[in-house]
Amino acid sequence: MNFFKWYNRSLEKRPLITKMITSFITFGSGDLICQQIEKSKNKQKKFEFSRTIKQASFGMMVTPYQHMQFCIIMPWLFKGKGTITSIKSVVYDQIIGAPIFTSLFFIYLDMSNGKNFDGAVKELEKKLLPTLYMNWKVWPLLMLINFSLVPVQYRVLFANICGMFWSAYLSSAQNSS
């Protein structure tokens, strides 16, 4: 059976669980890509399985938020199809969604690595704006494609597949300090 048949059947039976599993895989894969790059630069660097699991678990836990945004809230806010609707969705995603997502990412990972909430917020203050600036170079075009061409039920999957490489970038930003 091909992937899309399996995915469609899984979406029909358990849409949120299906999206959470794919998010777990893509976020974990992003960290694996990042660790491979780090190891190629520093042969002494050891693979950290717990780091991959933490990042993958973030992907899984943030999926209900992505599902609500992409599949419920945004289609409700921006009804219809077309260029204007897609642009409104992108603007909303980048002004509202990107800062929330990025903040959750850094706070979750810092706290899962032992920082208290205040320490995680201090780290977020250092990382948020540079990460958002990079985000705004990459994601608006990808989200325009997502909101204009991708059917609603596949928007989280599309973002996850594109996000696998973004996840590698986030892993680097998280683990570089």
Q: Is 177's pLDDT higher than 70?
A: no
pTM: 0.88
Enter the tokens of residue 104.
Answer: 């959750």
Can you give the pLDDT at residue 93? Answer: 95
Nearest Cα to 68, choosing from 141, 105, 19?
19
Q: How far apart are CA 118 and CA 130, in angstroms?
A: 20
Better-predicted residue by pLDDT, 42 or 118: 118
Q: Is 1's pLDDT higher than 70?
A: no
Tell me the pLDDT tens digit for each residue of 91-101. 999 999 999 99
What is the residue range of 144's domain?
Answer: 3-175
Nearest Cα to 172, choosing from 31, 28, 24, 23?
31
Burial of 161 (0-12, 13-18, 19+ CB in 10 A): middle
Can you give the pLDDT at residue 118? Answer: 96
Q: 87-91, 119-123, 133-137, 166-170: which range is least confident on average?
A: 166-170
Q: Is 45's pLDDT higher than 90?
A: no
Which residues have a Cβ under 8 Å from the Cβ of 133 and sit 6 or more positions away? none
Q: Look at the chain and report how many structural domains it folds into.
A: 1
Tell me the pLDDT tens digit for each residue of 3-35. 788 888 998 999 999 999 999 999 999 999 998
Q: How far apart are CA 21 and CA 25, in angstroms?
A: 6
Q: How far apart are CA 69 and CA 147, in angstroms?
A: 12
Helices (H) and strands (E) in the chain, counts: 8, 0
